[in-house]
Amino acid sequence: MTSQQRFAMRTVVVTGAANGIGAATARRFLAEGARVAVIDREADELQAAYADCDRERLLAVHGDCTDGDQLAEFHRRAVARFGPVDVLFNNVGQSGRERAAPFAASQEEVWRFVLEVSLFTAMRMSRLIVPTMHERGGRIVNMSSDAAFVGDAGLADYAAAKMGIVGFTRALARELAPRGVTVNAVAPGAIRTRAHDRLPPAVIERIKSTTPAGFIAEPEDVAGVVAFLASDEARYITGQTLLIDGGRWML
């Protein structure tokens, strides 16, 4: 873990932070001195993920990110505890998972869920935070996926939502650049998360074989990129989507 303190005295918000990339990134910000507010609907996992962390610099809230009122209350509590938000990582999102299907057999209720959790949550959380960033500057990092670029079969709704994140990132970046706010996205490929661990071994091997790097990354690999984009070192980078997928898709 890094010994840098790039985020000392800064307030960071991470959504969907009970495990995987969200937890790894929140812990990375904590390690670099930030005051971090996290939200997730899985209460037990949320508490376990930060059991060894400095509670003075952590606010962990049990809540559903698809509920606009709960997001607003989370934001209110974060600001009351730590002050205005300097960094927002819109991490929460998922595919239809066990309800995913080829498009001809897919259901609209699943599309709506995937779009809600993977796109609308980012838009709502950003809308809460942007007015203050207008005055102070800041960093927003959104979670896309290489599925948006590759177009994986059976994930049409997820690919649409995650490409929506790319468009949202670009438009918001252009609006906010004059205000000293950068807005970027990360698009991970195969990362060793809880959902990924449920895949059959044959699928894991196929993913490895189609990834030039030849291995599956850890959540910490994504956390390091998010931390860079949120730092002062990335002040001249905005509107970009960085793929973190071992070369599976190259722009």
- Sequence spans of domains, the chain: 11-243
- Mean pLDDT across the stretch 101-106? 87
Q: Is 80 exceeded by the pLDDT of residue 178?
A: yes
Closest among 187, 174, 197, 181 to 226, alpha carbons compared: 187
Mean pLDDT of 144-159: 90
Residue 2 confidence (pLDDT) above 90 = no
> Residue for token digits 């490929």?
189
Residue 162 has pLDDT above 80, yes or no: yes
- Predicted confidence band at 207 (pLDDT cuts at 50, 70, 90)? confident
Give the rounded distance of the alpha carbon of 151 from its chain centre.
20
For residue 229, give every residue at least 6 positions away whose Cβ sits within 8 Å of its Cβ, in sequence order, or none: 139, 141, 182, 184, 186, 237, 242
User: Above pLDDT 70, what percent of the chain?
Assistant: 96
pLDDT of residue 239: 98
Q: For residue 12, is pLDDT > 60?
A: yes
Is the pTM higher than 0.85? yes
H helices present in 12-155, as ranges: 20-31, 43-49, 68-82, 108-115, 121-136, 147-150
Question: Which single residue is written with the structure tokens 């004059």?
Answer: 178
What phi, psi does 132 have (nearest 5°)? -75, -35
44, 227, 247 from 31: Cα distances, Å = 22, 11, 29
| CATH code for the structural domain at 11-243 | 3.40.50.720
Return the DSSP state at 229.
H
Q: Poorest-confidence range of 24-28, 104-108, 118-122, 134-138? A: 104-108
Catalytically active residues, by annotation: 158
- Identify the three-state secondary structure at position 236: coil
Task: Tell me the average pLDDT of the chain.
Answer: 93
Q: Return d(Cα 238, Cα 222) in angstroms, integer.
A: 18
Give the number of other Cβ atoms within 10 Å of residue 80's Cβ: 9
In the predicted model, is pLDDT for residue 100 greater than 90? no
Distances in Å between the Cα of 36 and the Cα atoms of 32, 50, 73, 179, 249 are 11, 11, 16, 23, 32
Identify which of 157, 172, 161 has the alpha carbon closest to the alpha carbon of residue 106.
157
Can you give the three-state secondary structure of 144-210, one letter per residue? CCCHHHHCCCCCHHHHHHHHHHHHHHHHHHHHHHHHCEEEEEEEECCECCHHHHCCCHHHHHHHHHC
How would you classify residue 90: left for phi > 0, otherwise alpha for psi between -120 and 50, otherwise beta? beta
